Structure 1
Amino acid sequence: MSGVKPMWLTAVCILFLALLLPARLLFLALLLPARLTAGPDTTPHRWQEGELVSRKTIPVGHGGLRYKYVYRLRGSDARYIVAAKQPLKLDLMVPVKFAPLRRHLLIQDSDGRECKVSMVERDKRAFGRWK
């Protein structure tokens, strides 16, 4: 009699899982088209005019073979300090187009390419000179 109970329990578990499988497949079938249509964020960026005020090259690591490029960017409503792994193809004190993202900025270089740089600091209240 002891061998019957585990067999009965196994049959109930298999039946339960068999009933859950169609529910899971239905859930995935409903979820999958929503994910496919959402895709990447295709909203247009809100481009702004600004100018690069300064650039500083900082060595990274002990060997000094890699560098990080820190820029100060002045926009119409805020000032930004951004860091890039590659130097931007832009001159200082010339108009640039940029679009703020969450923790990054997209900056259009002189070739029209969009370069994504990391935002280090954002100051919305500074309208005078740099601190």
Structure 2
Amino acid sequence: MPRINVTSVLVDDQTKALAFYTDMLDFIPKTDISLGEYRWLTVVGAAEPEGVELLLEPDAHPAAKAFKEALVQDGIPFTSFAVDDVVAVHADLQARGVEFTQAPTAMGPMMTAVLDDTCGNLIQLTSPA
């Protein structure tokens, strides 16, 4: 049966994205292959180095830029990452300088927060409430 091995987040600058996702969110670099102007650039969760790779994919296509801008304008996260405790992670990331568009908020059985990844995306963090 199929399984997810790579998923993407569209970024406006791969180098800036790599710095944010590794320095701020503690992902670790997995693959970095030059493809001319762009790179096949992936990161993985530090606790799951063989887990699903997150491709920091260039948003060079005009439709990608328009899509991302519309999501941000409407406050819609591009993707969601699970954490053990949204409140604690929010406090830690905010202390590191990460900007949030939504503070930790209870949503039924889940707690969510939304951050700005500095690369044109809103990213939701979720944990059990």
TM > 0.5 fold call: no
User: What TM-score do you get using the length of structure 1 for normalisation?
Assistant: 0.22
Greater strand share, structure number: 2
TM-score (norm 2): 0.22
The higher radius of gyration belongs to 1
Q: Which has the higher contact order (CA 8 A, sep 6+)?
A: 2
